[in-house]
Amino acid sequence: MEHMIDIAPDIRLWVEESGDRTAPPLLLIMGANASGLAWPEPFVEALGRHHRVIRYDHRDTGRSTEIFGERPYAITDLARDAVAVLDALEVDRAHVVGMSMGGMLTQLLLLDHPDRVLTATFIGTTPLGGIPFEAPGFPPEFLALWEEMGAARDREAEIDWRVRHWELLHNDPGDGVGIPFDPEEFRRLEERIITHTGRHRAPVAHAAAGTDGLDRGPELAAVTVPALVIDSPNDPLAGSSCAHALAGAPGNARLVTIPGMGHALPGAVLPRLAELVLGHTSPPEERRR
């Protein structure tokens, strides 16, 4: 079921509900400049067998309102959007799974709205105010590609750019071979996102969004909500060092490694990832077993 939800004056978000509507809610929060459709369908379907799955397009992505050019905002505003989605769907508490920037937003939810979060799962996430991205350590082609972000391209050239971006995110060359990259898998993903969005111009607003209010890492020590941190050792942005730092921040966190995983969600990791998330979101007595 799809919705268009008004979360602020002149700002509407595309939201989708799927899965078992009678089961505990699970909110998926995607990363920067990414539509909710970046969550792979097999992963969403696997979670939906045990949860009411909610995913959405951040503002300035997908079918949600483009507003940054007229009304710039901060990353913290995107965290408030997540709460607004829960409010609009009358969800008191939800399991929350955040990818990349979505994991940063999940940390903000744990700090400001712990009563709304049943469990938290982090994928490819840096701790708030913690380990910064070390740009000099990135391959030169990575930095060159980012300089082209938002450039005018036709549809096919834009898809080519996005697939190349996924390829670099998929595996850190310094950490070994990792999981083989299938360009056609990510080409199909981006074609689907572009069809959903109705335009092929790349979203870039979140790269320019304000970062005030994110230096709150020490506050995570007081968090008692059960947290699962996925260690993606081949991730060039938020690899094992970030995962270990994040797992050591909240008071009730567990770290699990998916060997070969990078900063992407290829089909090869989805069964294990779904298994881990569903194990984490199961009732406490089942988690103990």
Residue 249 contacts residue 130 (beta carbons within 8 Å):
yes
Alpha helix (H) ranges present in 6-154? Answer: 41-48, 75-88, 101-112, 140-147
Label the pairing between strands 52-56 and 11-19.
Answer: antiparallel
What's CA 113's distance to the chain center, in Å?
18
282 is a catalytic site residue: no
Residue 164 contacts residue 137 (beta carbons within 8 Å):
no
175 is a catalytic site residue: no
Catalytic member of 50, 64, 81, 100? 100
Give the span between the Cα atoms of 279 and 120, in whole angstroms: 12
Residue 126 contacts residue 105 (beta carbons within 8 Å):
no
Catalytic member of 165, 206, 263, 280? 263
Q: What is the CA radius of gyration of the chain?
A: 18
Catalytic member of 60, 81, 172, 235? 235
Residue 181 contacts residue 190 (beta carbons within 8 Å):
no
50 is a catalytic site residue: no
Catalytic residues, which ones?
100, 235, 263
